[in-house]
């Protein structure tokens, strides 16, 4: 029986582990992918105290701190969560994976992060990993000397395009409305000769034979369908929270994000806290996720002291 189970090994989860273990709570971090989305970032310039550091190295620092303070970390994909009571009528939680393995805890901090949002257009699934990708950090080098398109207008899309400038010959950036990413990155990309922004563009279809050969988009000004001859499509249109396994165990909003008390990070279920991109907070930044993880752990500690 652990004092707290933290689901997720990203910035929110590992920071929660640091704070929980420093409070001498018996802490276990369950992670599906090491480091979460932050670990995929090739460059991080805006995390206080660090410059010119990539996401994987930053999360390695977090992990070492957490384990040095006594937290355990293991790979475990939760498929089910349930609530039970012990002989003293105290409630506790059970997490179960697909193999039926169960882990018990007095409290839980949900920090599962999010997964890439898909376009939902013809050809996307067919050519997934055959030119369609959701991770520039992982796949940019595969498109050396080729023409590619980045779909999206936020920081994820702009960062993907910046990475691709080191490899691709031509980079189209399809923007449906307006650019929402950081102005500094946007200005840098506008000065890149190999980058071309395509505005008022709505992706319609991805075509290919064995691999991607082109992308069809609708020009919303002319109402015409146009084609870009490309070998790669980098989908960068946001993310979906990893909350499927929860079902209706605790309250979620219309986007599937866990609804929390912004002061305490408590969910609708007593003893369950949540932090980071999996919640309904406004911003999606590593430093914010880390702060939310710290808050969740401190509030979880207070709850445990009052209830166990």
pLDDT digits (tens, 9 = 90+) for 200-245: 999 999 999 999 999 999 999 999 999 999 999 999 998 899 999 9
Residue 38 is encoded by which pair of tokens?
Answer: 């932050």
pLDDT > 90: percent of the chain: 79
Is the pLDDT at 255 greater than 80? The verdict is: yes
For this structure, is 135 an active site residue? yes
Q: Catalytic residue among 68, 99, 135, 219, which?
A: 135
Across the range 177-197, mean pLDDT stands at 95
| Averaged pLDDT score across all residues of the chain | 93
Across the range 66-78, mean pLDDT stands at 95
**Which three-class secondary structure state does DSSP give residue 42?**
coil
Q: Catalytic residue among 60, 68, 89, 139, which?
A: 139
Q: Is residue 295 within a helix (H) or strand (E), and if so which, with residue range? A: helix 286-307
Could you give the domains of the chain? 2-115+239-307 (3.50.50.60), 118-235 (3.50.50.60)
The predicted pLDDT at position 97 comes to: 92
Please tell me the pTM assigned to this model: 0.80
Sequence-separated (6 or more) residues with CB below 8 Å from residue 43: 52, 53, 54, 159
For this structure, is 169 an active site residue? no
Across the range 41-51, mean pLDDT stands at 80
The predicted pLDDT at position 23 comes to: 97
Q: Catalytic residue among 52, 60, 89, 138, which?
A: 138
Residues composing the chain = 308
For this structure, is 219 an active site residue? no
The predicted pLDDT at position 133 comes to: 93
């Amino acid at each position: 029986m652990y004092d707290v189970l933290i689901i997720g090994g990203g910035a929110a989860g590992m920071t929660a582990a640091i704070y929980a273990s420093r409070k001498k709570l018996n802490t276990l971090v369950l992670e599906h992918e090491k480091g979460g989305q932050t670990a995929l970032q090739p460059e991080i310039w805006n995390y206080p105290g660090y410059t010119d550091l990539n996401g994987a190295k930053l999360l390695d620092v977090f992990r070492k701190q957490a384990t040095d303070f006594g937290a355990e970390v293991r790979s475990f994909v939760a498929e089910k969560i349930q609530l039970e009571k012990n002989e003293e009528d105290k409630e506790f939680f059970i997490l179960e994976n697909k193999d039926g393995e169960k882990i018990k805890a007095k409290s839980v901090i949900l920090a599962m992060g999010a997964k890439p949002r898909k376009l939902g257009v013809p050809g996307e699934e067919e050519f997934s990993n055959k030119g369609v990708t959701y991770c520039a950090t992982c796949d940019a080098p595969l498109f050396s000397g080729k023409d590619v398109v980045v779909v999206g207008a936020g920081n994820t899309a702009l960062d993907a395009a910046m990475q691709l400038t080191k490899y691709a010959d031509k980079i189209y950036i399809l923007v449906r409305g307006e650019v929402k990413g950081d102005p500094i990155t946007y200005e840098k990309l506008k000065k890149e000769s190999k980058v071309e922004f395509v505005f008022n563009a709505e992706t319609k279809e991805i075509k290919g034979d064995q691999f991607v050969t082109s992308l069809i988009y609708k020009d919303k000004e002319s109402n015409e369908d146009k084609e870009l001859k490309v070998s790669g499509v980098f989908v960068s249109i946001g993310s979906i929270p990893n909350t499927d396994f929860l079902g209706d165990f605790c309250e979620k909003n219309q986007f599937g994000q866990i609804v929390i008390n912004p002061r305490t990070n408590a969910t609708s279920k007593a003893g369950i806290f949540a932090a980071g991109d999996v919640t309904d907070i406004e911003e999606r930044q590593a430093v914010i996720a880390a702060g939310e993880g710290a808050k969740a752990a401190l509030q979880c500690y207070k709850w445990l002291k009052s209830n166990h």
